[in-house]
Amino acid sequence: MRALRKTKAGPGLELVEVPEPVCGDRDVKVRVLRAGLCGTDLHLESWDDWAAATVSAPMTIGHEFFGEVVEVGADVEHVVVGDRVSGEGHIVCGTCRSCRAGRRQLCIHTIGVGVNRDGAFADLVVIPATNAWVQPADLDPDLGALFDPLGNATHTALQWPMVGEDVAITGAGPIGVMATAIVRHAGARRIAVSDVRPERLELAARAGADLTVDVSGGRDLAWAQHELGMLEGFDIGLEMSGAPDAVRDLLDNLNHGARVAMLGLPRSPYEIDWGKVITHMITLRGIYGREMFETWYLMGSMLASSPALRAAVQSVITWRGPAEDWQEAFAHTRSGLGGKAVLDWS
């Protein structure tokens, strides 16, 4: 089968022929129809310090995918051949304290599909059956491939009730744009989204932002408050950028008692004003991945009930093409000028 692999330690990837993966007794084998690119894939392709310390080559990368089940293991009952599934990319141990308590997203032994084991940039991928989320048979494959990043957006955006709240979102990448659509769906009053890329801010505006803030032009969230006629700071912040300046701008423009969900990963440690966090009684909550599997139920329910939300989520796809054009997909993603790139493996 075809697979896009890190064949050796160092920059670059190769589209090569490899043997089909073996399906274990508790696994499912999925024929990949669509696979989305993620920032993690860019790190792996460029082979930065994180990738070099995390990944053992050779490795097939890719973890955002949708496909059709072509084989199930002997001990699998809830998934059958022919099911169409999205894949939860975090594989947990099932035996640590968090797993046994039903908090699998907090597993201390989590490994990643396409990072610690062969992934989904391939004709076929094998995952534990428990990681296969069965989708409606008529689901658009492009939408099915977005459930991993949509889960990040959902997990972040729905940490607290949104009805009537003023929300600031820092970072208008694909996850930030999807989070914009979710908080609009969930009843937020005012939504301001900041970024340095006008193209991405345009996506956020179409997804439901009341105001976009191009911080590369000198504007900030204080300007946004003035434009929106706000008398107090934002009630909720969603930090999607990992940029220290964005975090500082967010903290400077929060109401007392505000709540912040932080998903964006910084490249290195940075200082924040802890005095303000304390005296303004701000709650900071780190977010990683998705709740397994409450977030998946929420995603499915929201999308099923809202054509507008489905359209907003799919609007983050700004590049589509065959797997053979993977280099173009990576260039599009690395440029930061658009949203999500989706590879067609069918």
Neighbour count for residue 317 (Cβ, 10 Å) = 19
Residues 215 and 113 in one domain: no
180 within domain boundaries? yes
In which residue are the tokens 């999807």 written? 178
Residues 228 and 167 in one domain: yes
Residues 96 and 166 in one domain: no
Residues 224 and 276 in one domain: yes
What percent of the chain stands above pLDDT 90? 97
292 within domain boundaries? no
298 within domain boundaries? no
| Pairing mode of beta strands 166-170, 111-112 | unpaired
Start-to-end CA distance of the chain, whole Å, equals 12
300 within domain boundaries? no
Residues 15 and 142 in one domain: yes
Residues 162 and 141 in one domain: no
Give the active site residue among 40, 60, 110, 212: 40
Asked if 261 contacts 282 with a C-beta cutoff of 8 angstroms, the reply is no
Residues 216 and 126 in one domain: no
Residues 68 and 134 in one domain: yes
Asked if 196 contacts 216 with a C-beta cutoff of 8 angstroms, the reply is yes
Give the active site residue among 7, 43, 283, 332: 43
| Sheet of strand 59-60, all strands in order from the earlier edge strand to the far edge | 14-17, 2-6, 59-60
**0.85 exceeded by the pTM?**
yes
Cα–Cα dist 9/7, whole Å: 7
Residues 164 and 29 in one domain: no
Tens digit of pLDDT for each residue in 190-223? 999 999 999 999 999 999 999 999 999 999 999 9
Query: Is 312 exposed, middle or buried, given 0-12, 13-18 or 19+ CB atoms closer than 10 A?
Result: buried
* pLDDT score of 225: 98
Which of these three, 266, 286, 306, is where a domain ends? 286
309 within domain boundaries? no
- 43 a catalytic residue: yes
Asked if 195 contacts 171 with a C-beta cutoff of 8 angstroms, the reply is yes
* pLDDT score of 267: 86
Residues 164 and 113 in one domain: no
Residue 256: both structure tokens together: 């007392």
Cα–Cα dist 70/175, whole Å: 30
What percent of the chain stands above pLDDT 70? 100
83 within domain boundaries? yes
Residues 6 and 142 in one domain: yes
Phi first, then psi, for residue 72 (nearest 5°) are -125, 150
Tens digit of pLDDT for each residue in 258-295? 999 999 999 899 999 999 999 999 999 999 999 999 99
How many independent structural domains does the chain possess? 2
* pLDDT score of 190: 98
Q: What CATH number is associated with residue 53?
A: 3.90.180.10
Helix intervals (H) in 112-164: 141-144, 147-157
What's the domain range around 129?
A: 2-146+316-344
Tens digit of pLDDT for each residue in 15-52? 999 999 999 999 999 999 999 999 999 999 999 999 99
| Pairing mode of beta strands 27-36, 124-128 | antiparallel
241 within domain boundaries? yes
In which residue are the tokens 């990043």 written? 149
Q: Inform me whether the pLDDT recorded for 337 exceeds 90.
A: no
| Pairing mode of beta strands 190-195, 211-214 | parallel
Which of these three, 243, 269, 286, is where a domain ends? 286
Residues 138 and 173 in one domain: no
Q: Inform me whether the pLDDT recorded for 5 exceeds 90.
A: yes
Cα–Cα dist 43/330, whole Å: 11
Helix intervals (H) in the chain: 39-46, 49-54, 97-100, 141-144, 147-157, 174-185, 198-207, 221-228, 244-252, 274-279, 294-305, 307-314, 326-335
Tens digit of pLDDT for each residue in 117-169? 999 999 999 999 999 999 999 999 999 999 999 999 999 999 999 999 999 99
Q: What CATH number is associated with residue 219?
A: 3.40.50.720
184 within domain boundaries? yes
What's the mean pLDDT when you consider all of the chain?
96
DSSP calls for 48-68: -HHHHHH--SSEE---EEEEE
